[in-house]
Structure 1
Amino acid sequence: MFTRTRRRRHLARARPGDGSRVQRFRLRQLFTRSLFAVDLAEDSGDRHLYEVDVRHGRDSSSTRRPAALYRDGVQVLAGNLPVAFPVPGGVIEVATGQFGVKRMHLVGHDGREHVLSPHPRSLEGRRARFDRRFPRASAAVGVVGLVVLLAGLAVSLSLAAEQVTRVEVVAQYVGTFTSPVHLPAWANLTLTVAVALAATDRALRVKSTWMAD
Structure 2
Amino acid sequence: MATWLQRMNARRAKTGDGSPMPRFRWWQLLSRSVFELPPTPGRPARYAVDVRHAGDRTDGAVRARLYRDGALAAVSKLPTAFPVEGGAIEVAVNSIGLRRCHFVPEDRVSGAGTGAIVLTPLPASAEGRRARFDREHPAASRLIGALALAAVLIGVAVGGYELVMQLASIPAVVEAIGVIERPFRVPLEVGIAVGAGAVLGGLERTLRLRSTWLDEFAT
Q: Residue 75 of structure 1 corresponds to which residue in structure 2? A: 72
* Pairing 1:161–2:160 present: no
Instruction: Give the deviation of 1:61 after TM superposition.
Output: 5.5
Moved over 6 A (4+): none
* Worse-superposed segment, 172-181 or 109-118: 172-181
Residues 18-167 of structure 1 mapped to structure 2, 5 A cutoff: 18-41=17-40, 45=42, 47-59=44-56, 62=59, 66-111=63-108, 112-167=115-170
Q: Which consecutive residues of structure 1, in runs of 5 or more, have no partner in the other structure?
A: none
Q: CA deviation at 1:147?
A: 1.3
CA shift for structure 1 position 90: 1.1
1:39 deviates by 1.8
Give the Å deviation of 1:6: 3.4
| Partner SS, residue 104 of structure 2 | strand
Query: Structure 1 46/35 Cα, relative in aligned 2: closer, same or farther at 3 Å?
Result: closer
Q: Calculate percent identity across the aligned residue pairs.
A: 39
Contact 1:158 1:181 in 2 (8 A): no
Deviation, 1:70, is: 0.8
TM-score by length of 2: 0.87
What secondary structure, in the 3-state scheme, does the structure 1 residue paired with 2:151 have?
helix
Kindly state the Cα deviation for residue 195 of structure 1 after the two structures are TM-superposed: 0.3
Aligned match of 1:185 in 188, 193, 205? Answer: 188
The alignment partner of 1:102 has SS state of strand
Q: Which runs of 5+ in 2 are unaligned?
A: 109-114
Partner amino acid, structure 2, of 1:77: A
The alpha carbon displacement at 1:212 in A equals 1.2
Structure 1 residues 56-82: Cα deviation after superposition (integer angstroms, max 9, x where no partner) = 121595389721101111111111111
SS for the counterpart of 1:188 is helix
Of stretches 170-179 and 103-112 in structure 1, the one that deviates more from structure 2 is 170-179
Please tell me whether the aligned partners of residues 99 and 199 of structure 1 are also in contact (alpha carbons under 8 angstroms): yes
- TM normalised by structure 1 equals 0.89
String of CA shifts for 1:119-166, please: whole Å, max 9, x gaps: 000000000011101111111111111111111111111111111122
Q: Flag the 1:141–1:7 CA change in 2: closer, same or farther, 3 A.
A: same
Letter of the aligned partner of 2:91 in structure 1? V
Contact 1:158 1:179 in 2 (8 A): no
For residues 189 and 64 of structure 1, do their structure 2 counterparts lie closer, same or farther at Cα, with a shift above 3 Å needed? closer
Which amino acid is the alignment partner of residue 185 of structure 2?
H
- Counterpart-to-counterpart distance in 2, 1:207 and 1:14: 25
SS of corresponding position for 1:195: helix
The 1:20–1:144 alpha-carbon spacing in structure 2 relative to 1, beyond 3 Å, is same
SS in 1 for 2:107: coil
For the 8 Å contact 2:43–2:86, the answer to whether it is kept is: no
State which drifts further: 166-175 or 7-16.
166-175
1:203 equivalent in alignment to 2:206: yes
